[in-house]
Amino acid sequence: MMSPGFVYEPYCVREPIPFWKRLFTRSGWTRTKEDVILEMKNAYAVSRLRKKTGYTKKQFYDQAFNIYKEVNKLMAQGDTSSLRKALTDSMHSTVKNEIKRRESKWKSVHLELVEPAVSIRTLRARMIGLDKNDLDKAFIQLTLEFVTKQKFEAYNSKGEVVSGDKSKEVLVKDIWVFERSLFHPGAYWRVCGRITL
């Protein structure tokens, strides 16, 4: 098994609740318990990742940002075969269909990522265990939020601009899920999903 093929417990924004409600109501106590459990799952997944791979946040952010740049560039070029290495099978199928839909409207696109990224942060970490007797037989999924500046322009079949303006920078927020096996030799990070809020 190279990938579970789904995003486990996809990230969603938790509704903020007032301090007094959190402390003095039954629903507040329940919510506090849920929040603590979510954070414990994050910590456990990251600790297993560190133990098995020597994970460091800076090193992972560098790798993830390079994958993010490469995938965006290849998507803009419509190069589905080169995308296969950076994406899981289910994500590759999704992206291939998106490119086909885009090419039916626009002949080509220009996408330029302005470096460095404005911010990158981890929103969620999850471990998907495949065998309850062997904790190392698992996949790790890390959900990252990228805030970047990008330049975009789309062209029709005559080469005329139909959308965007490549001279203007636009602030873009993307939430991507990266996945890595803990038990395959030579495993590397791949994109297994994107989340829209």
d(C-alpha 5, C-alpha 165), whole Å: 36
Amino acid identity of 131?
A: D
The chain-wide mean pLDDT, for the chain, equals 93
65 touches 117 (CB < 8 A) = yes
Distance of alpha carbon 164 from alpha carbon 86, whole angstroms: 27
- Write out the CATH class of domain 56-195: alpha beta
Mind listing the pLDDT tens digit for each residue in 60-103?
A: 999 999 999 999 999 999 999 999 999 999 999 999 999 999 99
Instruction: Residue 136: name the closest of 57, 54, 60, 51 by CA.
Output: 51
The band of 49, judged by pLDDT with boundaries at 50, 70 and 90, is: very high
In the chain, domain spans: 56-195
Give the Cα separation of 86 and 17 in Å (integer): 38
Q: DSSP character for 15?
A: P
- pLDDT tens-digit series, residues 113-126: 999 999 999 999 99
